[in-house]
């Protein structure tokens, strides 16, 4: 059975994509189609803030893209040296809160120690932060995307925990998306399952997939990587067959495998 994954492929340098690998272990043939493109912004402002760890109580990352913004900054020799010589150590005295394993591994790549990665989503991470931070302490620095959800900032604000958000990337539809979807459906047919990885993916893909599937749309099992994506699908009138227990390849593959089992009469 075929599974369509609406996400970017993993960086080729880091081996096979874990989602394709895990689904393959259940004899499911997965294909990736990139949905989003990203434009990084405010990088000078980002590094300026990173240069003053004494002004902040810690860092918060809910997206791998925010770490990519930092990695772009660190490509500049002088900034890389400043980070290696002192800034990294100064930030490591403070907590770095993250959602998910992908974000945590990127935090480790820049030399920081992630906390809270098992939270799985922004709501649970907010609870974790609230259990560890005191009200009215130094602000946590939160590099994020323009389309960030307001759940985490709202919960922290209600608890009196200061958060300083900085938009470091904009999200847009991938320029090849419509062509890639049309090509997939014409060559591979209707997949058994389509997996969405973000509310933005629902916004940019769902109508195309419904049109390409036609009368066979009811045969497709729709899956979501997490609760916010599942909520976006339901908001668009789609029945969600399964949601990953946590945003990992293992949990998603297991959930899809279960959802695709024949149902008893």
Q: Exposed e or buried b for every residue in 172-184, given b needs 16+ CB within 10 A?
A: eebeebeebbeeb
Q: Topology of domain 39-172, per CATH? A: Rossmann fold (3.40.50)
Tell me, what's the pLDDT at 32? 96
Q: Which residue has the higher pLDDT, 9 or 126?
A: 126
Res 102 pLDDT > 90? no
**Where do the CATH 3.40.50.10090 domains begin and end in the chain?**
2-35+176-260, 39-172
Give the number of residues written for the chain: 265
Q: What are phi and psi of 196, to 5 degrees?
A: -100, 140
Q: Distance (Å, rounded) from C-alpha 137 to C-alpha 101?
A: 27
Q: Distance (Å, rounded) from C-alpha 114 to C-alpha 102?
A: 11
What is the DSSP secondary-structure string of 126-188?
HHHHHHH--TTSSPEEEEEETT--SHHHHHHHHTT--EEEEEEEEEEE-TTHHHHHHHHHHHH
CATH number of 2-35+176-260: 3.40.50.10090
Percentage, residues of the chain above pLDDT 90: 84
The residues, any chain, with a CB within 8 Å of residue 249's CB and separated by 6 or more, are 18, 19, 21, 22, 23
The mean pLDDT value for 51-74 works out to: 96
**Residue 47, token pair as written in the block:** 């590094």
- Helix (H) / strand (E) element for 221: namely strand 221-224
The mean pLDDT value for 126-147 works out to: 94
Res 265 pLDDT > 70? no
- In terms of Cβ atoms closer than 10 Å to its own Cβ (0-12, 13-18, 19+), residue 41 is middle
Tell me, what's the pLDDT at 189? 97
The mean pLDDT value for 186-206 works out to: 96
Tell me, what's the pLDDT at 49? 98
The residues, any chain, with a CB within 8 Å of residue 126's CB and separated by 6 or more, are 151, 152, 155, 156
Res 38 pLDDT > 70? yes
Q: Distance (Å, rounded) from C-alpha 224 to C-alpha 194?
A: 9
- In terms of Cβ atoms closer than 10 Å to its own Cβ (0-12, 13-18, 19+), residue 53 is buried
**Residues 67 and 106 sit within 8 Å (Cβ to Cβ):** yes
Give the DSSP letter of residue 239: -
């Amino acid at each position: 059975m075929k599974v369509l994954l609406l996400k970017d492929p993993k960086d080729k340098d880091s081996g096979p994509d874990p989602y394709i690998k895990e689904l393959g272990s259940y004899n499911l043939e997965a294909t990736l189609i990139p949905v989003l493109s990203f434009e990084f912004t405010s990088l000078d402002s980002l590094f300026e803030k990173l240069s003053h760890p004494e002004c902040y109580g810690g860092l918060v990352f809910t997206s791998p893209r925010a770490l990519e913004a930092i990695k772009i900054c660190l490509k500049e020799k002088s900034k890389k040296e400043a980070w290696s010589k002192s800034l990294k150590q100064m930030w490591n005295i403070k907590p770095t809160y993250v959602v998910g394993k992908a974000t945590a591994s990127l935090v480790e790549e820049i030399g920081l120690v992630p906390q809270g990665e098992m939270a799985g989503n922004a709501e649970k991470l907010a609870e974790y932060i609230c259990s560890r931070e005191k009200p009215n302490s130094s602000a946590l620095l939160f590099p994020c995307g323009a389309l960030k959800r307001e759940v985490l900032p709202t919960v922290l604000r209600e608890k009196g925990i200061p958060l300083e958000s900085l938009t470091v990337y904009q999200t847009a539809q991938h320029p090849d998306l419509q062509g890639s979807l049309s090509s997939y459906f014409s060559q591979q047919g209707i997949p058994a399952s389509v997996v969405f990885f973000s509310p933005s993916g629902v916004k940019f893909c769902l109508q195309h997939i419904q049109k390409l599937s036609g009368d066979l749309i009811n045969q497709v099992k729709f899956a979501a990587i997490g609760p916010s994506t599942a909520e976006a699908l339901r908001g668009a009138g789609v029945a969600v067959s399964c949601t990953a227990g946590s945003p990992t390849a293992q949990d998603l593959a297991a959930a899809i495998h279960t959802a695709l089992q024949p149902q008893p009469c």
